[in-house]
């Protein structure tokens, strides 16, 4: 008898690709009312637009990075055009104790790693950052951060991604954007 693999997913909260948000096995989820068990997808699944799912490739590479492991950063979804990540809140990352907001370096690192994820899925290797610009719109409070990257341009040697960072437990809210950014990544060795 074949054993069924299951993953936890948000029941009523599809991500921006029309897929359900997968949670990494063994990682806790917040709340249980919106979570259901479902059969694990096949490694070569595609989203509704027909784009290949590159999430497993990026997770494998990112799980090797000590910074990502130390902060329990999750890669939620990656396709050739988009990526979505989650950075859990940690009290030790507060940058201004009077306002109780996260340090800007936390936000900029999330912009960078989410922008790179789209291209890492494409080239199946790490992509050095050439340039990074972050626009801090409002303080990121005491909640997890979610980032969504979209490819703006992609050539044979350079890729550009636009990233939005949201603060809050409800990834579907979409109205808590605390930062935006643009990352430029080197895709090929010269």
CA distances from 25 to 8, 85, 115 (A): 8, 15, 24
pLDDT for the residue numbered 149: 97
Reported pTM: 0.71
Question: Domains in the chain, please, with CATH?
Answer: 47-186 (3.10.129.10)
Question: Are 149 and 158 in contact, with CB atoms under 8 Å apart?
Answer: no
Question: Are 55 and 82 in contact, with CB atoms under 8 Å apart?
Answer: no
Question: Are 21 and 82 in contact, with CB atoms under 8 Å apart?
Answer: no
The 10s digit of each residue's pLDDT in 25-40 is 344 444 333 333 334 3
Count of residues for the chain? 190
pLDDT greater than 80 at residue 2: no
Nearest to 106 by CA among 23, 162, 178, 58: 178
Kindly report the number of other CB atoms within 10 A of residue 133's CB atom: 12
Residues near 103 by Cβ (< 8 Å), separated by ≥ 6? 93, 94, 95, 96
- Owner of token pair 């940058």: 95
Q: State the Cα–Cα distance between residues 46 and 113, nearest whole angstrom.
A: 22
The 10s digit of each residue's pLDDT in 57-106 is 999 999 999 999 899 999 999 999 999 999 998 889 888 888 788 899 99
114-130 CB burial, b ≥16 within 10 A, e <16: bbbbbbbbbeeeebeee
């Amino acid at each position: 008898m074949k054993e069924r693999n299951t993953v936890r997913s948000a029941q009523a909260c599809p991500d921006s690709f029309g897929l359900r948000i997968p949670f990494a096995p063994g990682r806790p989820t917040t709340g249980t009312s919106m979570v259901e068990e479902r059969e694990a997808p096949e490694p070569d699944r595609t989203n509704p637009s027909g784009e290949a799912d590159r999430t497993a490739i990026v997770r494998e590479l990112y799980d090797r990075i000590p910074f990502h492991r130390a902060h329990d950063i999750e890669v939620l979804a990656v396709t050739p055009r988009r990526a979505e990540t989650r950075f859990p809140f940690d009290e030790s990352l507060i940058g201004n104790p009077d306002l109780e907001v996260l340090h800007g370096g936390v936000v900029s690192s999330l912009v960078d790693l989410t922008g790179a994820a789209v291209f890492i899925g494409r080239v199946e290797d790490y992509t050095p950052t050439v340039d990074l610009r972050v626009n801090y719109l409002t303080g990121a409070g005491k909640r997890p951060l979610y980032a969504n990257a979209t490819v703006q341009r992609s050539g044979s040697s350079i890729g550009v991604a636009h990233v939005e960072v949201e603060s809050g437990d409800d990834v579907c809210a979409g109205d808590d954007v605390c930062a935006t950014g643009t990352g430029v990544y080197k895709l090929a060795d010269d």
